[in-house]
Amino acid sequence: MKKITQEYVEGVKDHNGLTVIKAPVVPQFVADWFEVNKDNLGLEIWMYIYNFDKHKNECDSFCMFMNDKSGKQFETLVSMQYGYYVQKEVSE
């Protein structure tokens, strides 16, 4: 049985008086995509969606996350700017 732990990653953006109530918990592959794309997050999300057909042909874990029917993908990615937790598998 695999154990899951969480590691907090502090956000780097100035909060400008905003309060983020709950930091999202994301899998490592979401955190990896976010870290690569966080500097131009809005544009990178738009480009990912614009080119979604290309991503669907080679659908990886992040593609499946973006295609999830829950509809929380954008909320999650935007909230990650203020800090997030990464799920990590712990070997016994």
What tens digit of pLDDT does each residue of 25-79 get? 999 999 999 999 999 999 999 999 898 888 777 888 998 999 888 878 988 999 8
Chain position carrying tokens 């131009």: 40
Spatial CA neighbour of 83 closest among 40, 19, 37, 3: 19
Q: Report the DSSP pairing between strands 3-10 and 83-90.
A: antiparallel
Question: What pLDDT shows up at residue 15?
Answer: 57
What is the pTM (predicted TM-score) of this model?
Answer: 0.73
- Report residue 1's pLDDT band, with 50, 70 and 90 as the boundaries: very low
